[in-house]
Amino acid sequence: MTGSLRSVAGRGFYYWRKIKSKTAVGGIWGKELRQLVERTCGSADFPADFRKRTKPVFFIDKKGFESFKNLLLPESIISAAEAICKHEFDLLGSGRKIVSDSSGEIDWHVDFKTGIGWDPSLFYLDVPVNRGDGSDIKVPWELSRFQHLPTLGKAYWLTGDERYAREFAAQVAGWLAANPPLYGVNWACPMDASIRAVNWLWGYYFFKDSPVLADEFLSAFLKSLVVHSEYIMVNLERSMRGRSGNHYLADLAGLVYLGVLLPEFKGAGRWRERGVRGLIREMEEQVYSDGVNHEGSTGYHRLAAEFFLSATLLGRKNGIDFPARYMKRLEKMLEFTLHYTRPGGTAPQLNDSDDGRLHVLAGYGDWDRRDHRHLLSTGAVLFKRPDFRQAAGELYEETLWLTGEEGLRQWESLPVPPASLKSRAFPRGGFYIQRKEDFYLIIDALPADPGAPPGHRHNSRLSFELCAFGEPFIIDPGTYVYTADKDGRNFFRSTACHNTVVVDGMEQSRLEPDRLFWLGGEAAVRVNAWEENDRYVFWDGEHTGYIRLVRPVAHRRQVWFDKKERFWLIKDELTGEGEHRYELFFHFSPLAVRFCPDYPGAVVVEGEKAGLSVIPLLKEGLSAGITPGWVSCRYGVKKEAPILRYGREGPVPASFLTLLYPFQK
């Protein structure tokens, strides 16, 4: 009965959204632009007057651009813009591909990685997301986010070439013609509509003075932005159960942009208020007190921080005050980024990542998916933090576009302290970082949090990543894909795909093969100890994931980092009832790995300038093998990398004791 009630409730919600969307959006699309305007800028010719207005204030204008133009790399920007003009994109692991047909038109409804498309006549609530045919709905969504527009705009400001303005207008006009409101794949996800609206607005502010942008185009463009706003308002992705996730943050950030930058339109006050108040609330809901995003993913932490940062900076430029408590927690988000950034500057791939961004303001086409330091660069300016500046290493281009000439002056005024990052615990968020200079290990100890969305968590409790001498050796293999490959999705989030212990081939928490964004909560973590002194850092924790077995087992892990001798000792203890099969996995970067002939079970991992010895200290009854595995450093791409597996069978208690000894060549 409960299931049938849920089904009835689901259908009811479906029809409610359908009616609300058609009422809100359909009415707007049928009106003239002037009917949607609450007040004009003082002229009867609204589109022309709209171009001339000086308020509201955007992040940067052409005059401000002149103050930092000499800091950019024109050749790379223009090269990327030329590829965009050819409709050549590299999205979600596609490799560089021309996405238009022989007539030059972009098919906005197709997954150009597979050639499989979606019916453009389908009502947005009826668009199938996961069809099981190898297609990836994220591909048309990603292209329709228009995150390439800032690159076109930068090339326009650098060269004055109107070809870039014509390309902007042609792509937007083509999209509008192919995607009538509420129909087709690109209206199926409010998050993507929000991100598209944000990037359209970035594009507009680059091209607003171009003669290419005729009044007719501008009218259609602005009317569509109003449609986007009301569509988002009706379809806000706020969870009905527990707390919401990054989709809702995207909706709110989009509403802030639309409400702040389009004040002339009826409804702008509602959009702005809903966006600002929502972000303030969600900062408390979605970000733990230690600054960690509650989805438990470093990739989505970066995405959430971008939503908060960008919308906050835009709001502050236009007189919107955010509470001190909100700003302090935003600063703590960047402190977490500061500490999880590995020696060498890249971020660990803990739990899901889909390369998600709000806007790509630098390096479009070849940006490093694992470099989150643009957040630290912007945070250094916003919060006047010398340690953020030191960790960022350089003034990132994103910071220039978001903070302009004032940000450049603030950056230059900050002192650069010596590197002094130490070990740091984030107990509420569930990450523990052991660090000494360029030696680094981060432990995944995510808390059992029934209110947090589980969809982007992996079976990675007590797993870790390790870097030594600045090189990553033991890593999390990443995410690979979502709906395009069900088996691949489940493999990359499985327990065996992480640096932890598997008992009897079971998962720490239940995975259901067809529920690609669901994870059971059986593996609840308890941290027993976190200690640090001049000599060592010690962590002790356990999880309950295998207690559900017929013969229950508890997995406890202790990680000792000797800061003076610079090695790690890891002890895994299995206690409980009965006999079991135990497997301990270590996943390596794509490096050469070989067994040591003079010490059974020990392996050496060869890095570029350093190496890592992995030495089992409890050898009796231990089997060892090196097998090929996979690592995915960006969405849609996987590369072979070695896996070390230690195994043993027998009654509990059972233990593994492993020495991880880095060395320089």
Give pLDDT tens digits for 100-135.
Answer: 998 899 999 999 999 999 999 999 999 999 888 999
CB neighbour class for 305 (10 Å; exposed up to 12, middle 13-18, buried from 19): buried
Residue 514 to residues 485, 487, 488, 489: CA-CA distances in angstroms?
A: 11, 9, 12, 10
Question: Half-sphere exposure of 442 toward its Cβ, with a 13 Å CA cutoff?
Answer: 29
Contact (CB, 8 A) for 237 and 190: yes
Report the pLDDT averaged over residues 52-63: 93
**Amino acid (1-letter code) at residue 66:** E
Give the per-residue pLDDT at 296.
97
Tell how far CA 208 is from the center of its chain: 30
List CB contacts of 515: < 8 A, sequence separation 6 or more.
none
Task: Using a pLDDT cut of 90, give the percent of the chain over it.
Answer: 89
Tell how far CA 234 is from the center of its chain: 25
Number of H helices, E strands in the chain: 19, 21
Closest to 168 measured CA to CA, from 198, 202, 139: 202
Residue 318 CB coordination number (10 Å): 17
Give the per-residue pLDDT at 1.
41
Q: Residue 366 pLDDT > 80, yes or no?
A: yes
What are the pLDDT digits (tens) for 256-273? 999 999 999 999 999 999
Hunting for tokens 């795909």 — which residue is that? Answer: 497
**Cα 9 from Cα 123, distance rounded (Å):** 20
Report the pLDDT averaged over residues 194-208: 98
Task: Using a pLDDT cut of 70, give the percent of the chain over it.
Answer: 98
Residues facing residue 424 across a β-bridge: 433
Angle ∠(500,503,507) on CA atoms, nearest 5: 75
Q: Which of 24-33, 195-204, 470-479, 648-657 has the lowest mean pLDDT?
A: 24-33
Residue 656 CB coordination number (10 Å): 21
Give the pLDDT band of residue 39 (cuts 50, 70, 90): low
Q: Residue 3 pLDDT > 60, yes or no?
A: no
Q: Residue 224 pLDDT > 60, yes or no?
A: yes
Length of the chain: 665
What's the mean pLDDT when you consider all of the chain?
A: 95
**Cα 421 from Cα 437, distance rounded (Å):** 7
What are residue 399's phi and psi, to 5 degrees?
Answer: -65, -40
Give the per-residue pLDDT at 28.
85
Give the per-residue pLDDT at 194.
98
The tokens of 294 are what? 């509650």
**Amino acid (1-letter code) at residue 218:** L
Q: Residue 42 pLDDT > 70, yes or no?
A: no
E strands of 233-337, at which residues? none
Give the per-residue pLDDT at 36.
87
The tokens of 239 are what? 């969870």
Contact (CB, 8 A) for 267 and 229: yes
Residue 153 CB coordination number (10 Å): 24
Report the pLDDT averaged over residues 535-556: 98
Residues facing residue 582 across a β-bridge: 503, 648
**Amino acid (1-letter code) at residue 599:** Y
**Cα 355 from Cα 641, distance rounded (Å):** 21
Residue 175 to residues 43, 107, 137, 340, 579: CA-CA distances in angstroms?
A: 29, 9, 17, 39, 61
What are the pLDDT digits (tens) for 451-463? 999 999 999 999 9
**Amino acid (1-letter code) at residue 601:** G
Write down all domains in the chain, each with its CATH number in brackets: 422-664 (2.70.98.70)
The tokens of 116 are what? 């499989």
Give the per-residue pLDDT at 43.
56
**Which three-class secondary structure state does DSSP give residue 521?**
coil
Q: Residue 2 pLDDT > 60, yes or no?
A: no
What are the pLDDT digits (tens) for 293-336? 999 999 999 999 999 999 999 999 999 999 999 999 999 999 99
**Cα 277 from Cα 270, distance rounded (Å):** 10
Give the per-residue pLDDT at 293.
98
Give the per-residue pLDDT at 37.
87
**Cα 383 from Cα 396, distance rounded (Å):** 16
What are the pLDDT digits (tens) for 395-433? 999 999 999 999 999 999 999 999 889 999 999 999 999
